[in-house]
Amino acid sequence: MHFKINLSQLIISFYFLIIFSCITTLLNFEFLIILNSLVYLFALFYFIFFFKINVIFKIFIFLLIVINLGTITTSWDARSIWLFKTKIFFYEENIFNFHTHPQFSHPTYPFIAPLFASTFVKSLNFWNEIFPKIGIFFLYLPPLIFISSKFKNNYLYAFLSVSLFVLGKYFVNGEIDGLISIYFLTSLILTYEIIFDKHELKKKIIIIFFNNIILSLLKFEGTALVLLICFMFFLHFLYKKRISFKILVTIILSVAPAIIWLLYSIKIDNVYQLNDSSFAFVNLVDRLNNFDNLMLIMSFLFSDEKFLLGILFFFVFFFKTNNKDLNYLVLSILILYFITLIMIYLSTNFDLSFHLRSSANRVIKPLTLSFFVMTLYNINLYKFKN
Protein backbone atom coordinates (compact mmCIF):
# COMPACT_ATOMS: atom_id res chain seq x y z
CA MET A 1 0.00 0.00 0.00
CA HIS A 2 1.53 3.30 -1.13
CA PHE A 3 -1.03 5.59 0.48
CA LYS A 4 -1.76 6.34 4.11
CA ILE A 5 -4.86 7.60 5.86
CA ASN A 6 -5.31 8.32 9.55
CA LEU A 7 -7.89 6.72 11.80
CA SER A 8 -10.41 9.58 11.62
CA GLN A 9 -10.32 9.55 7.83
CA LEU A 10 -10.87 5.78 7.79
CA ILE A 11 -13.85 6.04 10.17
CA ILE A 12 -15.40 8.90 8.17
CA SER A 13 -14.88 6.89 4.97
CA PHE A 14 -16.79 3.92 6.42
CA TYR A 15 -19.66 6.17 7.51
CA PHE A 16 -19.79 7.92 4.13
CA LEU A 17 -19.80 4.61 2.25
CA ILE A 18 -22.72 3.34 4.35
CA ILE A 19 -24.86 6.41 3.65
CA PHE A 20 -23.82 6.66 -0.01
CA SER A 21 -24.57 2.96 -0.45
CA CYS A 22 -28.11 3.45 0.88
CA ILE A 23 -28.69 6.42 -1.43
CA THR A 24 -27.53 4.49 -4.52
CA THR A 25 -29.75 1.54 -3.55
CA LEU A 26 -32.76 3.82 -3.09
CA LEU A 27 -32.14 5.26 -6.56
CA ASN A 28 -31.38 1.78 -7.97
CA PHE A 29 -28.03 2.74 -9.55
CA GLU A 30 -26.71 -0.79 -10.07
CA PHE A 31 -23.18 0.15 -11.11
CA LEU A 32 -22.71 2.44 -8.11
CA ILE A 33 -24.18 -0.21 -5.78
CA ILE A 34 -21.57 -2.74 -6.91
CA LEU A 35 -18.77 -0.17 -6.89
CA ASN A 36 -19.67 1.03 -3.39
CA SER A 37 -19.75 -2.54 -2.04
CA LEU A 38 -16.31 -3.24 -3.50
CA VAL A 39 -14.88 -0.03 -2.03
CA TYR A 40 -16.35 -0.89 1.39
CA LEU A 41 -14.82 -4.39 1.28
CA PHE A 42 -11.50 -2.89 0.18
CA ALA A 43 -11.62 -0.48 3.14
CA LEU A 44 -12.30 -3.43 5.45
CA PHE A 45 -9.40 -5.39 3.90
CA TYR A 46 -7.11 -2.37 4.30
CA PHE A 47 -8.16 -1.95 7.93
CA ILE A 48 -7.58 -5.60 8.90
CA PHE A 49 -4.32 -6.22 7.06
CA PHE A 50 -2.55 -2.86 6.74
CA PHE A 51 -3.88 -0.39 9.27
CA LYS A 52 -1.86 -0.05 12.47
CA ILE A 53 -4.30 -0.77 15.30
CA ASN A 54 -4.44 -3.29 18.15
CA VAL A 55 -4.15 -6.85 16.83
CA ILE A 56 -6.63 -8.22 19.38
CA PHE A 57 -9.25 -5.81 18.10
CA LYS A 58 -8.62 -6.94 14.51
CA ILE A 59 -8.97 -10.57 15.58
CA PHE A 60 -12.19 -9.66 17.42
CA ILE A 61 -13.68 -8.18 14.22
CA PHE A 62 -12.43 -11.05 12.05
CA LEU A 63 -13.90 -13.72 14.35
CA LEU A 64 -17.28 -11.99 14.44
CA ILE A 65 -17.29 -11.93 10.62
CA VAL A 66 -16.52 -15.66 10.54
CA ILE A 67 -19.27 -16.43 13.10
CA ASN A 68 -21.77 -14.37 11.09
CA LEU A 69 -20.86 -16.30 7.95
CA GLY A 70 -21.20 -19.65 9.73
CA THR A 71 -24.49 -19.24 11.60
CA ILE A 72 -28.13 -19.10 10.55
CA THR A 73 -30.71 -16.60 11.73
CA THR A 74 -33.37 -17.92 14.11
CA SER A 75 -34.83 -14.95 16.01
CA TRP A 76 -38.26 -13.66 14.96
CA ASP A 77 -37.35 -9.98 14.60
CA ALA A 78 -34.24 -10.71 12.55
CA ARG A 79 -35.93 -13.14 10.14
CA SER A 80 -39.37 -11.58 9.82
CA ILE A 81 -38.46 -7.89 9.86
CA TRP A 82 -34.86 -7.00 9.07
CA LEU A 83 -33.72 -9.88 6.84
CA PHE A 84 -37.15 -10.07 5.22
CA LYS A 85 -36.93 -6.36 4.34
CA THR A 86 -33.48 -7.02 2.89
CA LYS A 87 -35.01 -9.69 0.67
CA ILE A 88 -37.73 -7.27 -0.47
CA PHE A 89 -35.11 -4.63 -1.32
CA PHE A 90 -33.13 -7.27 -3.25
CA TYR A 91 -36.04 -8.37 -5.46
CA GLU A 92 -38.10 -5.17 -5.71
CA GLU A 93 -37.17 -2.66 -8.40
CA ASN A 94 -39.26 0.07 -6.76
CA ILE A 95 -38.46 -0.19 -3.07
CA PHE A 96 -40.73 2.74 -2.22
CA ASN A 97 -43.82 0.49 -2.34
CA PHE A 98 -43.83 0.14 1.44
CA HIS A 99 -47.59 -0.21 1.57
CA THR A 100 -47.32 -3.56 -0.25
CA HIS A 101 -45.05 -5.09 2.40
CA PRO A 102 -46.66 -7.67 4.72
CA GLN A 103 -47.88 -6.17 7.99
CA PHE A 104 -45.79 -8.56 10.12
CA SER A 105 -42.64 -6.95 8.66
CA HIS A 106 -43.70 -3.53 9.99
CA PRO A 107 -43.46 -1.56 6.71
CA THR A 108 -43.31 1.81 8.48
CA TYR A 109 -40.21 0.98 10.55
CA PRO A 110 -36.93 2.77 9.67
CA PHE A 111 -34.96 0.59 7.27
CA ILE A 112 -31.36 1.78 6.84
CA ALA A 113 -29.90 -1.51 8.12
CA PRO A 114 -31.67 -3.85 5.67
CA LEU A 115 -31.21 -1.28 2.89
CA PHE A 116 -27.45 -1.27 3.44
CA ALA A 117 -27.35 -5.06 3.78
CA SER A 118 -29.17 -5.45 0.46
CA THR A 119 -26.34 -3.68 -1.39
CA PHE A 120 -23.97 -6.60 -0.73
CA VAL A 121 -26.58 -9.15 -1.86
CA LYS A 122 -27.26 -7.12 -5.02
CA SER A 123 -23.54 -6.96 -5.76
CA LEU A 124 -23.40 -10.79 -5.76
CA ASN A 125 -26.64 -10.92 -7.81
CA PHE A 126 -28.16 -13.93 -6.00
CA TRP A 127 -29.99 -14.40 -2.72
CA ASN A 128 -28.54 -16.24 0.26
CA GLU A 129 -29.79 -16.11 3.87
CA ILE A 130 -26.28 -15.44 5.21
CA PHE A 131 -25.36 -12.44 3.04
CA PRO A 132 -27.79 -9.89 4.57
CA LYS A 133 -26.66 -10.83 8.08
CA ILE A 134 -23.03 -10.10 7.27
CA GLY A 135 -24.14 -6.84 5.65
CA ILE A 136 -25.86 -5.83 8.88
CA PHE A 137 -22.71 -6.72 10.83
CA PHE A 138 -20.62 -4.44 8.58
CA LEU A 139 -22.62 -1.53 10.05
CA TYR A 140 -20.81 -2.15 13.35
CA LEU A 141 -17.40 -1.33 11.91
CA PRO A 142 -17.17 2.51 12.04
CA PRO A 143 -18.54 2.97 15.61
CA LEU A 144 -16.55 0.00 16.94
CA ILE A 145 -13.33 1.34 15.41
CA PHE A 146 -14.06 4.79 16.84
CA ILE A 147 -14.79 3.55 20.37
CA SER A 148 -11.78 1.19 20.36
CA SER A 149 -9.54 4.16 19.52
CA LYS A 150 -10.47 5.67 22.91
CA PHE A 151 -8.97 2.76 24.84
CA LYS A 152 -5.47 1.34 25.07
CA ASN A 153 -4.16 -2.06 26.18
CA ASN A 154 -6.12 -3.43 29.17
CA TYR A 155 -8.88 -0.83 28.80
CA LEU A 156 -9.43 -1.94 25.20
CA TYR A 157 -9.66 -5.58 26.28
CA ALA A 158 -12.11 -4.54 29.01
CA PHE A 159 -14.23 -2.70 26.42
CA LEU A 160 -14.32 -5.75 24.10
CA SER A 161 -15.16 -8.04 27.03
CA VAL A 162 -17.96 -5.77 28.25
CA SER A 163 -19.36 -5.48 24.71
CA LEU A 164 -19.51 -9.26 24.41
CA PHE A 165 -20.97 -9.57 27.91
CA VAL A 166 -23.77 -7.06 27.26
CA LEU A 167 -24.51 -7.60 23.56
CA GLY A 168 -23.27 -11.14 22.90
CA LYS A 169 -25.58 -12.75 20.33
CA TYR A 170 -26.68 -9.36 18.95
CA PHE A 171 -23.38 -9.15 17.07
CA VAL A 172 -24.33 -12.20 15.02
CA ASN A 173 -28.10 -12.79 15.09
CA GLY A 174 -29.20 -10.15 12.57
CA GLU A 175 -31.14 -8.02 15.07
CA ILE A 176 -30.71 -4.26 15.28
CA ASP A 177 -30.63 -3.66 19.03
CA GLY A 178 -26.87 -4.23 19.29
CA LEU A 179 -26.31 -1.67 16.54
CA ILE A 180 -28.43 0.89 18.40
CA SER A 181 -26.36 0.32 21.55
CA ILE A 182 -23.00 0.75 19.79
CA TYR A 183 -24.09 3.77 17.71
CA PHE A 184 -25.64 5.46 20.75
CA LEU A 185 -22.48 4.87 22.77
CA THR A 186 -20.45 6.52 19.99
CA SER A 187 -22.75 9.56 19.96
CA LEU A 188 -22.55 9.74 23.75
CA ILE A 189 -18.74 9.84 23.73
CA LEU A 190 -18.72 12.40 20.91
CA THR A 191 -21.29 14.56 22.69
CA TYR A 192 -19.01 14.82 25.70
CA GLU A 193 -15.88 15.46 23.62
CA ILE A 194 -17.49 18.10 21.39
CA ILE A 195 -19.01 20.01 24.31
CA PHE A 196 -16.15 19.74 26.83
CA ASP A 197 -12.96 18.61 25.07
CA LYS A 198 -12.87 20.56 21.75
CA HIS A 199 -9.90 18.51 20.43
CA GLU A 200 -10.11 17.74 16.65
CA LEU A 201 -13.53 19.34 16.68
CA LYS A 202 -14.22 19.36 12.92
CA LYS A 203 -13.56 15.62 12.51
CA LYS A 204 -15.71 14.78 15.51
CA ILE A 205 -18.60 16.89 14.24
CA ILE A 206 -18.49 15.04 10.90
CA ILE A 207 -18.43 11.67 12.68
CA ILE A 208 -21.33 12.48 15.04
CA PHE A 209 -23.34 13.88 12.10
CA PHE A 210 -23.01 10.62 10.14
CA ASN A 211 -23.38 8.49 13.28
CA ASN A 212 -26.60 10.26 14.32
CA ILE A 213 -28.12 9.88 10.86
CA ILE A 214 -27.56 6.12 10.90
CA LEU A 215 -28.59 5.72 14.56
CA SER A 216 -31.84 7.63 14.03
CA LEU A 217 -32.74 5.48 11.00
CA LEU A 218 -32.04 2.08 12.58
CA LYS A 219 -35.23 1.96 14.66
CA PHE A 220 -37.55 4.50 16.25
CA GLU A 221 -35.66 3.97 19.53
CA GLY A 222 -32.62 5.34 17.70
CA THR A 223 -34.61 8.38 16.64
CA ALA A 224 -35.57 9.00 20.28
CA LEU A 225 -31.94 8.70 21.39
CA VAL A 226 -30.70 11.20 18.79
CA LEU A 227 -33.45 13.64 19.80
CA LEU A 228 -32.20 13.39 23.40
CA ILE A 229 -28.66 14.12 22.22
CA CYS A 230 -29.95 17.14 20.26
CA PHE A 231 -31.72 18.28 23.41
CA MET A 232 -28.44 18.12 25.38
CA PHE A 233 -26.63 20.16 22.72
CA PHE A 234 -29.47 22.69 22.78
CA LEU A 235 -29.22 23.07 26.58
CA HIS A 236 -25.46 23.61 26.46
CA PHE A 237 -25.91 26.15 23.66
CA LEU A 238 -28.72 28.02 25.35
CA TYR A 239 -27.58 28.14 28.97
CA LYS A 240 -23.85 27.43 29.09
CA LYS A 241 -22.74 28.74 25.67
CA ARG A 242 -20.30 25.83 25.31
CA ILE A 243 -21.04 25.22 21.64
CA SER A 244 -21.56 27.46 18.63
CA PHE A 245 -24.83 27.91 16.77
CA LYS A 246 -23.23 26.24 13.73
CA ILE A 247 -22.53 23.06 15.73
CA LEU A 248 -26.08 23.07 17.11
CA VAL A 249 -27.57 23.34 13.62
CA THR A 250 -25.35 20.49 12.39
CA ILE A 251 -26.51 18.23 15.23
CA ILE A 252 -30.16 19.10 14.63
CA LEU A 253 -29.80 18.44 10.89
CA SER A 254 -28.48 14.95 11.67
CA VAL A 255 -31.94 13.92 12.89
CA ALA A 256 -33.77 15.53 9.92
CA PRO A 257 -33.83 12.35 7.73
CA ALA A 258 -35.41 10.39 10.59
CA ILE A 259 -38.04 13.07 11.19
CA ILE A 260 -38.86 13.11 7.46
CA TRP A 261 -39.22 9.33 7.50
CA LEU A 262 -41.38 9.46 10.65
CA LEU A 263 -43.77 11.93 9.02
CA TYR A 264 -43.82 9.94 5.78
CA SER A 265 -44.46 6.66 7.62
CA ILE A 266 -47.40 8.24 9.45
CA LYS A 267 -48.77 9.42 6.11
CA ILE A 268 -48.57 6.03 4.35
CA ASP A 269 -49.93 4.32 7.47
CA ASN A 270 -53.00 6.57 7.31
CA VAL A 271 -53.43 6.60 3.52
CA TYR A 272 -53.18 2.82 3.07
CA GLN A 273 -54.70 1.89 6.45
CA LEU A 274 -51.72 -0.28 7.34
CA ASN A 275 -52.50 -0.25 11.07
CA ASP A 276 -48.77 -0.48 11.70
CA SER A 277 -48.67 1.94 14.62
CA SER A 278 -47.68 0.22 17.87
CA PHE A 279 -48.43 3.18 20.14
CA ALA A 280 -51.26 5.60 20.91
CA PHE A 281 -51.46 8.61 23.19
CA VAL A 282 -54.83 7.48 24.54
CA ASN A 283 -53.15 4.36 25.94
CA LEU A 284 -50.65 6.53 27.82
CA VAL A 285 -53.47 8.53 29.43
CA ASP A 286 -55.41 5.38 30.38
CA ARG A 287 -52.43 3.52 31.86
CA LEU A 288 -51.14 6.50 33.83
CA ASN A 289 -54.25 6.21 35.97
CA ASN A 290 -53.12 2.77 37.17
CA PHE A 291 -49.94 2.75 39.25
CA ASP A 292 -49.66 -1.04 38.78
CA ASN A 293 -48.71 -0.47 35.13
CA LEU A 294 -45.71 1.64 36.12
CA MET A 295 -44.64 -0.95 38.69
CA LEU A 296 -44.93 -3.70 36.09
CA ILE A 297 -42.66 -1.80 33.67
CA MET A 298 -40.13 -1.07 36.41
CA SER A 299 -40.10 -4.71 37.53
CA PHE A 300 -39.29 -5.91 33.98
CA LEU A 301 -36.60 -3.31 33.31
CA PHE A 302 -34.89 -3.77 36.69
CA SER A 303 -35.03 -7.56 36.46
CA ASP A 304 -32.18 -7.44 33.92
CA GLU A 305 -29.07 -8.45 35.90
CA LYS A 306 -26.66 -6.89 33.42
CA PHE A 307 -28.52 -3.57 33.63
CA LEU A 308 -28.27 -3.62 37.44
CA LEU A 309 -24.55 -4.49 37.26
CA GLY A 310 -24.04 -1.59 34.85
CA ILE A 311 -25.73 0.85 37.23
CA LEU A 312 -23.64 -0.47 40.16
CA PHE A 313 -20.42 -0.22 38.12
CA PHE A 314 -21.24 3.36 37.12
CA PHE A 315 -21.98 4.60 40.64
CA VAL A 316 -18.98 2.85 42.23
CA PHE A 317 -16.73 5.18 40.22
CA PHE A 318 -19.14 8.14 40.04
CA PHE A 319 -17.45 10.14 42.79
CA LYS A 320 -14.00 8.56 42.62
CA THR A 321 -13.20 9.88 39.14
CA ASN A 322 -14.54 13.35 40.00
CA ASN A 323 -15.40 14.14 36.37
CA LYS A 324 -18.65 16.00 36.98
CA ASP A 325 -19.08 17.10 33.37
CA LEU A 326 -18.98 13.53 32.04
CA ASN A 327 -20.87 11.94 34.93
CA TYR A 328 -23.81 14.33 34.87
CA LEU A 329 -24.02 14.44 31.07
CA VAL A 330 -24.17 10.63 30.84
CA LEU A 331 -26.56 10.31 33.76
CA SER A 332 -28.90 12.99 32.37
CA ILE A 333 -29.20 11.39 28.93
CA LEU A 334 -29.61 7.87 30.31
CA ILE A 335 -32.29 8.93 32.81
CA LEU A 336 -34.17 10.77 30.06
CA TYR A 337 -34.05 7.68 27.84
CA PHE A 338 -35.24 5.49 30.72
CA ILE A 339 -38.22 7.83 31.22
CA THR A 340 -38.83 7.74 27.44
CA LEU A 341 -38.94 3.92 27.55
CA ILE A 342 -41.53 4.04 30.33
CA MET A 343 -43.67 6.47 28.32
CA ILE A 344 -43.39 4.25 25.23
CA TYR A 345 -44.47 1.15 27.12
CA LEU A 346 -47.40 3.00 28.70
CA SER A 347 -48.46 4.00 25.16
CA THR A 348 -48.27 0.54 23.58
CA ASN A 349 -51.23 -0.87 21.65
CA PHE A 350 -50.25 -4.37 22.72
CA ASP A 351 -50.92 -6.08 26.00
CA LEU A 352 -48.39 -4.48 28.36
CA SER A 353 -47.11 -7.76 29.86
CA PHE A 354 -46.68 -9.31 26.40
CA HIS A 355 -44.83 -6.25 25.07
CA LEU A 356 -42.49 -6.19 28.06
CA ARG A 357 -41.75 -9.92 27.87
CA SER A 358 -40.91 -9.69 24.17
CA SER A 359 -38.77 -6.55 24.19
CA ALA A 360 -37.66 -5.27 27.62
CA ASN A 361 -34.35 -7.15 27.64
CA ARG A 362 -33.53 -5.73 24.17
CA VAL A 363 -34.45 -2.06 24.53
CA ILE A 364 -32.50 -1.76 27.79
CA LYS A 365 -29.22 -2.70 26.03
CA PRO A 366 -28.18 0.88 25.10
CA LEU A 367 -28.48 1.90 28.76
CA THR A 368 -26.62 -1.16 30.04
CA LEU A 369 -23.73 -0.83 27.59
CA SER A 370 -23.46 2.91 28.20
CA PHE A 371 -23.26 2.52 31.98
CA PHE A 372 -20.40 0.02 31.60
CA VAL A 373 -18.39 1.59 28.80
CA MET A 374 -18.78 5.24 29.82
CA THR A 375 -17.45 4.24 33.25
CA LEU A 376 -14.44 2.60 31.57
CA TYR A 377 -14.01 5.71 29.45
CA ASN A 378 -14.19 7.87 32.57
CA ILE A 379 -11.60 5.74 34.43
CA ASN A 380 -9.35 5.86 31.36
CA LEU A 381 -9.53 9.68 31.33
CA TYR A 382 -8.89 9.79 35.08
CA LYS A 383 -5.78 7.59 34.80
CA PHE A 384 -4.49 9.64 31.86
CA LYS A 385 -4.89 12.96 33.70
CA ASN A 386 -3.20 11.61 36.80
Instruction: Enumerate the β-bridge partners of residue 279.
Output: 348
Amino acid at 70: G
Confidence of residue 386 (pLDDT cuts 50, 70, 90): low
Confidence of residue 285 (pLDDT cuts 50, 70, 90): confident
Distances in whole angstroms, Cα of residue 288 to Cα of each of 24, 217, 344, 345, 347: 45, 29, 12, 11, 9
pLDDT digits (tens, 9 = 90+) for 316-341: 988 888 888 999 999 999 999 999 99
Which pLDDT score, from 0 to 100, does residue 321 have? 80
Which pLDDT score, from 0 to 100, does residue 385 have? 67
pLDDT digits (tens, 9 = 90+) for 264-281: 988 888 887 776 667 778
Distances in whole angstroms, Cα of residue 179 to Cα of each of 118, 133, 136, 295, 348: 17, 12, 9, 29, 23
Which pLDDT score, from 0 to 100, does residue 1 have? 45
In this prediction the pTM is 0.95
Rounded to the nearest integer, the mean pLDDT of the chain is 91
pLDDT digits (tens, 9 = 90+) for 107-140: 889 999 999 999 888 888 888 888 889 999 999 9
